[in-house]
């Protein structure tokens, strides 16, 4: 893995080491998978492959940050206090971007927004937002009923990949009676509904 020094004053080796120290081996492998799949999706969709690969690599940087640290940041950094009604599944993207900015020293707004949106998606989605959102779902390490179909759809058309993923996620959340974050719901209405 090698990231040019375009998006952080840290060296590539420093970013990789910091990322590795912030998560277990399984999560780290997932991040490498998302990075590689983000690169592929970028090539297919006329987006900068190196930038997509970096965004994919760091997307779950904060996934295993202790909940107390998230709660402190949500309270002290003026995040929407409704976030306190959710958990790390939602926090690690929206609030995780804060840790990525502070600890990996990434300032690029496109990368930070893609990280914020990678779990819930949103009504407005840039090409990079879609790439990271979809790559997270279909990277080679993912194994769930329907993943082959998800890959086929996403590699054929990125927007269709976003819609497929949101339909699958809403289905999962409703089946398991999980609380739906408003942005997930709004994103479903925007990207998944077939009129």
CB 159 within 8 A of CB 167: no
Helix (H) or strand (E) holding 26: helix 25-44
Give which of 55, 40, 172, 44 is closest to 118, Cα–Cα.
55
Q: Does 19 bind ligand GDP (CB under 6 A)?
A: no
Q: Which of 184, 187, 191, 192 binds ligand GDP (CB under 6 A)?
A: 184
| Residue 191 binding: pick among ligand GDP, Fe ion, none (C-beta 5-8 Å cut-off by kind) | none
Write the DSSP symbol of residue 6.
T
Q: Does 144 bind ligand GDP (CB under 6 A)?
A: no
* DSSP secondary structure, 132-191, as one string: HHHHHHHSTT--STTHHHHHHHHHH-HHHHHHHHHHHHHHHHHHTTPPPPHHHHHHHHHH
Q: Which of 70, 99, 181, 191 binds ligand GDP (CB under 6 A)?
A: 181
The nearest distance, CB 37 to ligand GDP, in angstroms, is 12
d(CA 57, CA 40): 13
Contacts of 130 (CB under 8 A, 6+ apart): 45, 158, 159, 161, 162
Contacts of 134 (CB under 8 A, 6+ apart): 41, 154, 158, 161, 162, 165
Q: Is the dihedral of CA 135, 138, 139, 142 positive or negative?
A: positive
Q: Could you tell me which stretch among 3-11, 56-64, 69-77, 78-86 binds Fe ion (CB under 5 A)? A: 56-64
Q: Does 136 bind ligand GDP (CB under 6 A)?
A: yes
Q: Which of 22, 23, 131, 136 binds Fe ion (CB under 5 A)?
A: 136
Q: Which of 172, 174, 189, 193 binds ligand GDP (CB under 6 A)?
A: 172
Q: Does 169 bind ligand GDP (CB under 6 A)?
A: yes
Q: Which of 45, 173, 186, 190 binds ligand GDP (CB under 6 A)?
A: 173
Residue with Cβ nearer ligand GDP (19 or 136): 136
Q: Does 60 bind Fe ion (CB under 5 A)?
A: yes
Q: Does 190 bind ligand GDP (CB under 6 A)?
A: no
Residues that bind Fe ion (CB under 5 A): 60, 136
Residues that bind ligand GDP (CB under 6 A): 30, 60, 63, 89-90, 93, 118-120, 136, 169, 172-173, 178-181, 184
């Amino acid at each position: 893995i090698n990231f040019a020094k375009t998006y952080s004053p840290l060296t590539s080796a420093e970013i990789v080491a910091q990322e590795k120290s912030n998560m277990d081996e399984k999560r780290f492998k997932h991040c490498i998978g998302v990075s590689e799949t983000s690169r592929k999706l970028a090539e297919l969709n006329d987006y900068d492959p190196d930038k997509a690969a970096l965004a994919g690599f760091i997307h779950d940087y904060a996934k295993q940050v202790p909940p107390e640290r998230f709660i402190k940041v949500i309270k002290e950094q003026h995040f929407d206090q409704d976030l306190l009604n959710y958990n790390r599944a939602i926090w690690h993207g929206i609030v995780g971007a804060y840790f990525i900015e502070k600890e990996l020293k990434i300032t690029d707004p496109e990368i930070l927004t893609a990280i914020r949106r990678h779990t819930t998606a949103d009504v407005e989605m840039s090409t990079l937002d879609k790439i990271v959102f979809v790559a997270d779902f279909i990277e080679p390490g993912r194994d769930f009923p329907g993943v082959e179909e998800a890959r086929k759809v996403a590699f054929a058309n990125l927007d269709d990949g976003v819609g497929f993923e949101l339909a699958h996620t809403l289905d999962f959340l409703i089946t398991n009676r999980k609380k739906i974050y408003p942005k997930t719901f709004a994103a479903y209405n925007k990207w998944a509904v077939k009129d």
